[in-house]
Amino acid sequence: MKIVHIGLLVQDLKSAAQFYEHILGLQRIDRPELAFDGLWYGLENAQQIHLMLLPDPYQGCDKPEHGGRDHHVAMQVDDLALITARLDAAAIQYSMSKSGRAALFCRDPDGNTIELIA
């Protein structure tokens, strides 16, 4: 497996862009049209940081059910069906990507969201 992108929640895109572009020197890359605003940045080896302008789900509420709208680490896998079978066998809940891609989101035992991409 390899890390594909890191998703981070932000509350102010202008301030976030100032930091990621001007402080860290990252270059913005195109992002698809989604139901929420955000910015994407390319890193070495095709890795990315995705900034998502979404409410902070940790302020006074439980984490969202679908991990794609939460802080997460994304990893590419060779056999998504095999991982899905292992998740099912262990009774670990997951949800498929809302975009239609061959990807799923699950949580580790500590509640951290993991995205697995075929």
pLDDT digits (tens, 9 = 90+) for 63-98: 888 888 887 888 788 899 999 999 999 998 999 998
- What does pTM read for this prediction? 0.67
Q: Could you give phi then psi for residue 41, rounded to 5 degrees? A: -130, 135
Give which of 35, 102, 101, 104 is closest to 72, Cα–Cα.
104
Assigned superfamily of 1-56: 2,3-Dihydroxybiphenyl 1,2-Dioxygenase, domain 1 (3.10.180.10)
Q: Where are the domains of the chain?
A: 1-56, 66-118
Give the pLDDT confidence score for residue 81 in this predicted structure: 93
Architecture of domain 66-118: 2-Layer Sandwich (3.30)
